[in-house]
Amino acid sequence: MNVPLGKREDQRLEFKGRQALERPEKITREVVAMLNAEGGEVWVGVAEDAEVANEIEPIADADKARSRLFDHMVATIEPSPESAELSIEVVHEGELAVLRIQTNRGPRGPYAQLHNNLYRYYPLRVDSRIRLMTREELRERFGKSESSEHELKRRAANYWDEELKTKESHLWVLAMPEHSRDIDLGSYLKDMERYVHEPPATGNRELGFNFHTYEFPSLAPHSIVEGKKHPFYRLELHDDGRLVFRARLSRLEKPEGELFPSALAEFPASMFRLATAIYKDHQLSDSISCMVDFGLVGIGGRTLRGGSPGTNHYDLADPRESVETNLRAGPLLLPASTLIEAPDRAMWSLLTRIYQGFGLRRSEMPLSIWNDERGELTLR
C-alpha cells in the first residue's frame, strides 16, 4: 500500500505528523470521531500542509509505536473497539515506515474518549473537522445501542459498591462475560479445579503473585470457591462466568505500607489469564463482550513509587500517595476475542489508570517487567 501523498483530508481521511505520537490522545480523538461518523483512515507519520499530505516523517521502531498506540486506545476508548472496528498497521514506503489506522463504524456506539478515567467526550467527524456530539445525537445513539453493555457496566459498578462496604483494605479483581447463557461452569468442574489448583495450566507462575490460595477448591451453590476460610484471600468462579479475586493489601506491600509494583501487576494479570482459559474453553464468539476491572479498597496512607524494582530510578524515587481512599481502575469493556488474545494488555491498560491515581505517568510504570511488543508481563 502506498502512502497517500498529495491527497486532501476529508470526512474519511486524516494526516498526523510523527510528533503526534507524543500526544496519543490527539490521535485517539480523531479515531473516536471517525468511529462515531462513517469510519475512515488516520495516517501517522504523514505531514500535511493546508490539509494536503506533503511529506513522510518516518517513525523509528514503528512496531513498538503501533503497540503503544493500540494500548492507549484500548485504555481510553469506550466501548473498547473490536478488531473489525479498529486496526493499526505499519506501512512501509521503501525504508520509511508510518502507521495507518483503519476505523469502521460499528453498531455499539456512540464511542467515548476517556480523560483521566473521569470524563467522557463524544467527538464526531464532520468533513475534515471535529465537533462534540449534541445531546440530541447522544440520546438517539444511546437509544439504539446494545442495552446489554450498559447492563454489564451497571453490574460491575454494583459489585464495586459492595466491595466498598467492607472494612478490610484489599485488592479486588473482576472478570465477567456479557451473557451468562454462554457459560456453563458446571460442565467443566474438573478443568476448573485444575485451573485454580495449578496456576501454570493458565500460563501463570507457580509461586508468583497469583490467585492460588493453596486451599483445595470447593463447590458452593452456583460457584467454585478457593480460599473459603479466608474471605480476603479468595478466588470465586461463578456459574455465570464471573470471576472474583480478593487479597489483603498487606500481600501487595513491600516494605510495609508501600505497594510493590510486581504484585500490583501480577495479581490481576493472573486472574485475566485464568478468565482467558475459561472463556476460550467455552468458545465465546467475537460478538460477546467481556468486562474486566480491578481496584484497591482502603488505600489511605499507602504509597506507590515510580519505576522498576531493582533500579536506581526506583530506589531514589519518592513514594506517592493517592488522594483517593478507594481507587478503581476500570471498568474496561472489550470483545471476548481481544481478552483471550491478550489478557496482559487488559491488565496493563487498567494498571495505567492505577498509576495515574497515584499521580504517576505511564513512563513511571515498571517497564522492566513489561514486554511492550508482545503485550506480556515478563516476571520470572
| pLDDT for position 179 | 62
Spatial distance between the Cα atoms of 156 and 175, rounded to a whole number of angstroms: 9
| pLDDT for position 194 | 80
> For the CA atoms of 363, 341, 290, 201, what is the dihedral angle to 10 degrees?
-100
Q: pTM to 2 decimals?
A: 0.69
Tell me yes or no: is domain 13-144 CATH 3.30.465.10: no
Per-residue pLDDT of the chain (380 residues; tens, 9 = 90+): 789 999 999 999 999 999 999 999 999 999 999 999 999 999 999 999 999 999 999 999 999 999 999 989 988 898 888 888 999 999 999 999 999 999 998 777 889 998 766 578 899 999 999 999 987 888 777 765 555 677 788 889 999 999 999 889 999 999 998 765 556 565 555 567 788 888 999 999 988 899 887 766 665 555 667 666 666 788 888 877 889 999 999 999 988 899 999 999 999 999 999 999 988 887 776 667 889 999 999 999 999 999 999 999 999 999 999 989 999 998 998 888 889 989 999 999 999 999 999 999 989 999 999 998 888 999 87
CA dihedral sign, ordered 246, 279, 348, 117: negative
Contact residues for 183 (Cβ-Cβ < 8 A; gap 6+): 177, 239, 240, 241, 278, 279, 282
| Range 188-192, long-range pairs (CB < 8 A, 24+ positions) | 188/278, 188/281, 188/282, 189/219, 189/224, 191/281, 192/217, 192/224, 192/237, 192/278
- Domain residue limits, the chain: 13-144, 147-377
| pLDDT for position 288 | 76
Residues belonging to the chain: 380
Q: Which residues of 51-78 are buried (b: 16+ CB within 10 A; e: fewer)?
A: eebeebbebeebeebbbbbbbbbbbbbb
